[in-house]
């Protein structure tokens, strides 16, 4: 599997905090990373691609505390420039970020954290403006467990004066990866991966060499694809511990999952058993895999229930699955699936990144041809998904007009790297 998208999109801007170049390896070649590299270049960083998946970023040349609005609006993670530029210059002006439309995505907790560190934050005409003469460490309690707020406050606090404690933080693997990266630059961040992060501010950070962790969500997506197609797939270059929640659900569904040191092997069954899933912050079941696993629920034996507890509008792909024959009722944030055994190919449209991945999996299991439109969403977070699937035997092509055409996949064993 490739490097973790949600770690990469925080680590790239975080590199600007150092006074000398950082070399970052195992970067996924996905649209969000490319957009972010362009944004970093626009604010004055020197971004050099050394080889595939490895860039060097020199933040010492950055002078601009404003990011360009058209690019920022293309992705959610551009909000990390707020923490970074505030930490670096005591000033940041960033348009409100874009990203997948999966419900209200406020940034009040990010702002609360910046204010606690002494910044004055205002939103004017859709631009977040943060300013501080000095950032001073403080104790911050997050009202919701937020990946973005946890990382953004860490980014602002690593160079603040004194100590910062952030309580009720997100524990996702990418939060830990960002903390490790900051520490490699000379920061003093402790507790990442637990409920409380403690940071002792340092006056300077230096460039470092760093390798990003494998992508837990990409791996989970391929695990579900293997299960949904009754395949036999080794998903290699993963950290199996990060996949425990998806592994647990697949096991409940009767799918065989064998863990190795750095791989998981998934062996599907003729028809998976029903399951209940509730999305939760890590180590709970990730909301980003809710859409992929909904395909398995659509074809499983019996009635499955998914409770999406993080985002309001993360069920928009279910309408597309219904067009493929799925029997799904939605009541608020709960979806009830009467498993139908098999889906039929149809023309469907990706409504966001993970919805797109789910529809590809649905196309792989369906009888007949499925066309997935709007695959630009998928390219934001998956590197060459069609090539990796084709290597497993999927009949999948990217059409010139930007659509994807799929046919059913047969049982296969292969290595995905
Ligand atoms: C990140 C991930 C996204 C993933 C999500 C949850 C990135 C770039 N994106 O998104 O792929 O689906 O975590 O794992 O890493 N909230 C507030 N106020 C805030 C911030 C968040 O109320 O200031 C709420 C959100 O509306 C949501 C919940 O907290 O209900 C979790 O959101 P958060 O973890 O912040 O998600 P993102 O960082 O946007």
- Enumerate domains of the chain plus CATH numbers: 5-211 (3.65.10.10), 216-416 (3.65.10.10)
* Ligand 1 closest atom vs CA 6: 15
Q: Quote the CA–CA distance of 384 and 369 in Å, as a whole number.
A: 20
The per-residue pLDDT for range 168-210, each reduced to its tens digit, is 999 999 999 999 999 999 999 999 999 999 999 999 999 999 9
Tokens of 179: 């903390």
CA of 76 to the centre of ligand 1 (A): 9
Is 100 known to be catalytic? Answer: yes
Regarding the beta carbon of 105 and ligand 1, being less than 6 Å apart is answered yes
DSSP state at residue 48: E
Q: Is 310 in the pocket of ligand 1 (CB under 6 A)?
A: yes
Q: Give tens-digit pLDDT for 330-382.
A: 999 999 999 998 999 999 999 999 999 999 999 999 999 999 999 999 999 99
Q: Where are the alpha helices (DSSP H) in 311-350?
A: 317-323
Q: Ligand 1 center to residue 356 CA distance, Å?
A: 19
Residue nearest to atom 22 of ligand 1 (CA): 106
User: Rounded to the nearest whole angstrom, what is the distance from the C-alpha of residue 290 to the centroid of ligand 1?
Assistant: 14
Ligand 1 pocket: which of 77, 144, 178, 309 to mutate (most atoms within 8 A of CB)? 144
147 close to ligand 1 (CB < 6 Angstrom) = yes
Per-residue pLDDT band at 49 (split at 50, 70, 90):
confident
Contact status, residue 9 vs residue 75, Cβ threshold 8 Å: yes
Largest CA distance in the chain: 63
Q: How far is the CA of 358 from the centre of ligand 1 (A)?
A: 20
- Mention every residue, 6+ apart, whose C-beta is less than 8 A from residue 387: none
pLDDT per residue over 260-310, tens digit each? 999 999 999 999 999 999 999 999 999 999 999 999 999 999 999 999 999
Contact 101, 149 (CB under 8 A): no
Sheet holding 163-167, edge to edge: 139-141, 163-167, 196-200, 188-190
Residue identifier of the C-alpha nearest atom 38 of ligand 1: 148
Task: Give the ligand 1 atom nearest the CA of 104.
Answer: 26
Q: What is the pLDDT of residues 84-133, one digit of tens each?
A: 999 999 999 998 876 666 666 789 999 999 999 999 999 988 889 999 99
Distance CA 77, CA 32 (A): 8
Contact between 392 and 231 (Cβ < 8 Å): yes
CA of 39 to the centre of ligand 1 (A): 21
Query: If you take atom 7 of ligand 1, which residue's CA is the nearest one?
Result: 6
Is any atom of ligand 1 closer than 6 Å to the C-beta of 36? Answer: no
Residue nearest to atom 33 of ligand 1 (CA): 146
Catalytic member of 22, 100, 208, 297: 100
What residues contact 34, with CB distance under 8 A and at least 6 apart? none
This prediction has a pTM of 0.94
> Is there an atom of ligand 1 within 6 Å of 181 CB?
no
Residue 186 DSSP symbol:
T
Mutate-to-test residue for ligand 1 from 11, 148, 291, highest number of ligand atoms within 8 A of CB: 148
Cα 58 from Cα 205, distance rounded (Å): 12
CA 263 to centroid of ligand 1, rounded, Å:
28
Atom of ligand 1 lying closest to residue 9 CA? 8
Distance 90 CA to ligand 1 centre (A): 24
* Of the candidates 162, 154, 148, 161, the residue with the CA atom closest to the CA atom of residue 181: 154
pLDDT classification of 64: cutoffs 50, 70, 90: confident
Ligand 1, residue 281: give the atom nearest the CA: 14
């Amino acid at each position: 599997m490739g490097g973790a998208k949600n770690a990469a999109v925080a680590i790239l801007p975080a590199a600007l905090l150092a006074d000398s170049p950082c070399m970052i390896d195992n970067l996924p070649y996905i649209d969000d990373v490319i957009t972010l590299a362009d944004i970093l270049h626009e604010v004055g960083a020197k971004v050099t691609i050394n080889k595939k998946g490895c860039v060097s970023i020199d933040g010492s040349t950055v002078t601009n505390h404003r990011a360009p609005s058209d690019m920022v609006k293309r992705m959610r993670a551009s909000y990390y420039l707020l923490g970074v530029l505030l930490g670096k210059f005591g000033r940041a002006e960033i348009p409100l970020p874009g990203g997948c439309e999966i419900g209200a995505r406020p940034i009040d907790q990010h702002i609360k954290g910046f204010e606690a560190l002494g910044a004055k934050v205002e939103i004017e005409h859709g631009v977040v403006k943060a300013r501080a003469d000095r950032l001073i460490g403080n104790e911050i309690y997050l009202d919701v467990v937020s990946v973005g707020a946890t990382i953004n406050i860490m980014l602002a606090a690593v160079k603040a004066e004194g100590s910062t404690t952030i309580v009720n933080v997100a524990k996702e693997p990418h939060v830990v990866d960002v903390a490790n990266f900051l520490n490699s630059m000379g920061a003093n961040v402790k507790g990442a991966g637990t409920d409380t992060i403690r940071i002792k501010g340092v006056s300077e950070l230096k460039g470092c060499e760093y390798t990003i962790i494998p992508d837990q969500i990409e791996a989970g997506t391929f695990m579900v694809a293997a299960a949904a197609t009754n395949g036999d797939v080794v998903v290699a270059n993963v950290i199996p511990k990060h996949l425990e929640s998806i592994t647990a659900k697949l096991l409940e569904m009767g799918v065989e999952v064998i863990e190795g040191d750095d791989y998981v092997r998934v062996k599907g069954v003729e028809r998976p058993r029903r399951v209940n899933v509730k999305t939760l912050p890590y180590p709970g079941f990730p909301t980003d895999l809710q859409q992929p696993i909904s395909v398995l629920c659509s074809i499983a034996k019996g009635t499955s229930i998914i409770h999406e507890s993080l985002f309001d509008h993360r069920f928009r792909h279910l309408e597309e699955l219904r067009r493929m024959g799925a029997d799904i009722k939605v009541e608020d944030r709960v979806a009830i699936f009467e498993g139908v055994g098999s889906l039929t190919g149809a023309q469907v449209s990706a409504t966001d990144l993970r919805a797109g991945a789910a529809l590809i999996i649905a196309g792989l299991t369906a009888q007949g041809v499925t066309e997935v439109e709007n695959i630009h969403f998928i390219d934001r977070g998956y590197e060459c998904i069609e090539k990796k699937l084709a290597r497993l035997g999927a009949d999948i092509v990217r059409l010139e007009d930007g659509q994807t055409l799929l046919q059913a996949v047969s049982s296969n064993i292969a290595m995905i790297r």
